[in-house]
Amino acid sequence: MPKNETRIFTAHVPIPLADRVDRMAEQMERSRSWIMKQALSSWLVQEEERERHSTLEAGYRAMAADKEREAEALEWCEVMLGDAADEAR
Domains held by the chain: number: 1
Split at pLDDT 50, 70, 90, the class of 89 is: low
User: Would residue 9 count as lying in a domain?
Assistant: no
Q: Is the pLDDT of residue 21 over 60?
A: yes
In a domain, 50, yes or no: yes
Residue 12 lies in a domain: no
Contact (CB, 8 A) for 57 and 68: no
Whether residue 27 lies inside any domain: the answer is: no
pLDDT for residue 57: 85
Q: Is 70 exceeded by the pLDDT of residue 2? A: no
- Helix spans in the chain (H): 15-28, 32-65, 67-88
Give tens-digit pLDDT for 36-76: 999 999 999 999 998 888 888 888 888 778 888 888 888 99
pTM value is: 0.59
Q: Which domain holds residue 83?
A: 34-88
Residue 59 located in a structural domain:
yes
Please, which residues have CB within 8 angstroms of residue 37's CB and are 6 or more apart in sequence?
Answer: none
For residue 26, is it within any domain? no
